[in-house]
Chains A and B, each alone.
Chain A
Amino acid sequence: MTDSAELPAPLAEIREDFLAVTPQERLQLLLEFSRELPDLPERYAGHPELMERVAECQSPVYIFTELDEARRVHLHATAPEQAPTTRGFASVLAQGLEGLTVEQALDVPDDYPLGVGLTEAVSPLRMRGMVAMLGRIKRQLREKTAA
C-alpha cells in the first residue's frame, strides 16, 4: 500500500480522514462526500459530448477532466442522486485532485482508492468502480497533454 508521504496533500488528507474513523463511520464520510459533489459548471452542462462514461461503475457516472491555463487539474463529474456511492467516489477524486499539476495527478498511485479503508465497508466489487474512475481520469490527462 502506498505511503501518505508520497501523496499530494489533499489526497493524503482525505485518506487520513477515512482511516481515522471506524469502517461504519467511513460510510458516513463517503455519504458526506457524495453530498458535496458540485453540479457541473454552467459551461459544461450543455455539452454531454465532453463527458466520458465510467462503464466500470454500476451507476451512470460521467467524468470530464479539465486543465486550466496554468495546467492545473479540475475534475467534473455527474451521477444520479440514486447512486450516492458512485457520487461519493467521484467527489473524493474531484476534491483530492483539485488544482494538482498534471504530473502530480499522473503520479497518484492507481490503487489509491483501495487504501482509504472503504473496501471492507463498501465491498471489493464496488471499489473497482472507483479504481476504474481514477484510471480513466489519468488516461484523459495523458491524452490532453500528449497533444
Chain B
Amino acid sequence: MAVQTDDSPAFQGFAHPEALVSTEWLAEHLGEPGLVVVESDEDVLLYETGHIPGAVKVDWHTELNDPVVRDYVDGAGFARLLGAKGISRDDTVVIYGDKNNWWAAYALWVFKLFGHDDVRLLDGGRAKWEAEGREYTTDASARDAVDYPVVERDDSTLRAFKDDVLLLLGERPLIDVRSPAEFSGERTSAPDYPEEGALRAGHIPSAQNVPWAKAVGENGTYRSRAELEELYLAGAGLTPGEPVIAYCRIGERSAHTWFALRYLLGFDDVRNYDGSWTEWGSAVRVPIVTGAEPGTVPAR
C-alpha cells in the first residue's frame, strides 16, 4: 500500500510531483507503515555519524555495484540487498543523501532499473534536513529482513550503453552535465576531484553542456518547472517529450539530471549513459570534440 504523496504546492507544477517529497513531509510521515527511508552518500561513513531516524543505508560503491564486472548487481543480488535491508517490493522508498543528492538520485535510478514502483527523492537532501535543524540519530535502524522478489534488471529503457550512444549520435540529443572545464576538455574530472579514469578529455559530439547544479537552487532543491524549462528547452534546445540521453563522468551527476528531465519535466524517454566519460574518454576511435561548442557529428 503506497504512502500518500506530498501534495505541497511547490511540487504541483512538475510533471510527476509524486516523485519528490519535502523535508516537512518526511518529518511528518517518518515511521509510517509502508515507508522506508534510504540514505545514499558519497562518503561511506556519513550515515554512521547521524542519519534520519529509521533510515537505512545503501552504499552505491559497495552494495549496488557488482564487485567484479563494471555493472550493477543482478536481480538476485538486488533482491538479497533489499530483502536484507527490510525493503518490500510494494514499500514507498524515499532516498536522500549528501552532495545535493547525487548518489541518492543514482540509487533511485538503480531502483528504477529493477522497476521498484514507488521511489521518491527527498528534495534538498541531507544538507536541507540538516540546515533546518531536523532530527538525526546514530542508532542503527533495525528493520526485519523481508523477501524481495527477484526481478531482472531492465537495461533497455532507462539506461544507455556506449553502442546505443554511437548508433544514435546526431539523432538523439545528448546532455552533458559535467562542469564546463570537463566539457571543453581542460580536465577529465570535476574541479576539486581527482583527475582520473579517462585517457582523453572533451565531450561527445553534439552534446549540450548543462552542468547538473543548474537544476537546483541555493538550498539544493530543484528549481521550478518554468526555470527548468528555461534551462533545458530554451537553453539546451530540447523539444518537450523527445527522447534524450544524459551523461557525466560515471553517471551519478547525470542521474540527478535524469531525474529532473524524467519526473519534473515529464520526458518519457530519458536514458542515463552510466559508462559516461570514464568509458567514452578511454574508448578507441570514438569521436570526441573539444572546446565549449557542442561540435558536429562526423559523417559515416
A34-64: contact bitstring with B at CB < 8 Å (1 yes, 0 no)?
1000000000000000000001111110000
* CB-based contact A59/B43 at 8 Å: yes
Question: Given A82-B98, A121-B62, A123-B62, does the pair A34, B194 have CB atoms closer than 8 Å?
Answer: no
Closest A residue to B49 using CB positions: A84
CB contact list, A44-99 vs B, under 8 A: 55-60, 81-86, 88
A31-B98 contact in complex given A55-B194, A128-B194, C-beta closer than 8 Å: no
Number of A-B contacts (CB under 8 A): 54
Q: Which residues on B sit within 8 Å (CB–CB) of A84?
A: 43, 45-46, 48-49
Is B61 engaged at the interface, CB distance under 8 Å to the other chain?
yes
Chain A contact patch, size range:
20 to 34
B44 within 8 A of A: yes
B6 on interface, CB distance cutoff 8 Å: no
Interface positions of B from 155 to 174, Cβ below 8 Å from A: none
Is B192 touching A60 in the complex (CB atoms < 8 A)?
A: yes
The one of B42, B48, B59, B62 in contact with A58, judged by C-beta atoms closer than 8 angstroms, is: B42
Question: A31 contacts which of B42, B48, B193, B194 (Cβ < 8 Å)?
Answer: B48
Distance to closest chain A CB from B80 (angstroms): 16
Q: Which residues of A contact B42 (CB under 8 A)?
A: 58
Q: Let me know if B45 and A31 touch, CB within 8 A.
A: yes
A84 to B196 CA separation, bound complex (whole angstroms): 22
A141 CB-CB contact with B under 8 Å: no
How far, in Å, is A58 (CB) from chain B's closest CB? 6
In the bound complex, CA of A82 to CA of B194 (Å): 19
Given the known interface contacts A81-B49, A121-B62, A123-B61, the answer about A27 and B98 at a Cβ–Cβ threshold of 8 Å is no
Kindly report which residue of chain B lies nearest to residue A88, judged by CB atoms. Answer: B45
Interface residues, chain A, with chain B CB atoms under 8 Å away: 27-28, 30-31, 34, 55-60, 81-86, 88, 120-123, 125-126, 128-129, 132
Using CB atoms and an 8 Å cutoff, list the residues of chain B in contact with chain A. Answer: 42-46, 48-49, 59, 61-62, 98, 192-194, 196
* Sample of 17 A–B contacts (CB below 8 Å): A27-B48, A28-B48, A30-B45, A31-B45, A31-B48, A34-B45, A58-B42, A58-B43, A60-B192, A82-B98, A83-B43, A84-B43, A86-B43, A121-B44, A123-B61, A128-B194, A129-B194
Given pairs A85-B43, A121-B62, 14 additional interface contacts (CB within 8 A): A27-B45, A31-B48, A31-B49, A56-B194, A58-B43, A58-B194, A59-B43, A83-B43, A120-B62, A122-B61, A123-B61, A126-B61, A128-B194, A129-B194
